[in-house]
Structure 1
């Protein structure tokens, strides 16, 4: 076993997804989404397939580097590689990029690949501003709701064992590493 790769099975019903989660977490997701909606300050949107991806990509990178660990990861070489991967995914229709705006400013982003009836989580970013609205949690609630409403059967975090993935209902699958020798 190389690394855990949590996945969340979805069946098309957001309320059913929430009901599987532990009561406290279910209540938290609903409360945070409701509070953001009632504030009138938050807006969720998915970048259209025909959008000019470059400004959206720059906004995504700006949010991503708000996390010091991701800032270290996103050096020039990695940024270049990710830019090419993201542009290719956009060109072929596999890119799924969503933002949560607060007061008209992008506060959280979720960059994924939409393939084979699933969303595959590639990376995310959250601004340290507007934390009172929990933009990362609110965004993920909207992402899962979108999946349920648009026929996606699963959200695959692809890898990593960060606590929030399990709090959102992730169940481990595993990335395996096999070494063959002669």
Structure 2
């Protein structure tokens, strides 16, 4: 386990203070953003470093983000945020169970549309259907998924919607339609 102050010239690991939570990331992914945004909501210090290939020693599959809780390394953003909520419950990030799946299909539909080379394969419409469902939910319950309270679902959706807007704008010249006002406002918050 190499601490963030390790270098190629000084390869010896430096211990990570046990009072800090440690988070390692590699590239700009929505799952990393979800974890960082969630950590920003809790009143606890954490140490964030860009992934060092030596971390493959503790995380052979290379999955990121990677966080250390006590002596355990966790590489699933949902599990990491769950542990953040458990260890640092104020303010709460808990999402009511009935709202936990709101927007959950947007990211896979976005990826399918982004990868699609056939304009008539229905992937754009599938994404629009999911965005419409989110828009309707926000219209009746907003401004956030759980009304006026930000929860882990919002913190998970925010980076995914950001990546959707950037990637589809760049590769497909596509943006979230103006008619989806609640989604567009949600993306600005």
Q: TM-score, normalised by structure 2?
A: 0.23
Q: Specify the structure having the higher radius of gyration (Cα).
A: 2
Structure with bigger strand share is 1
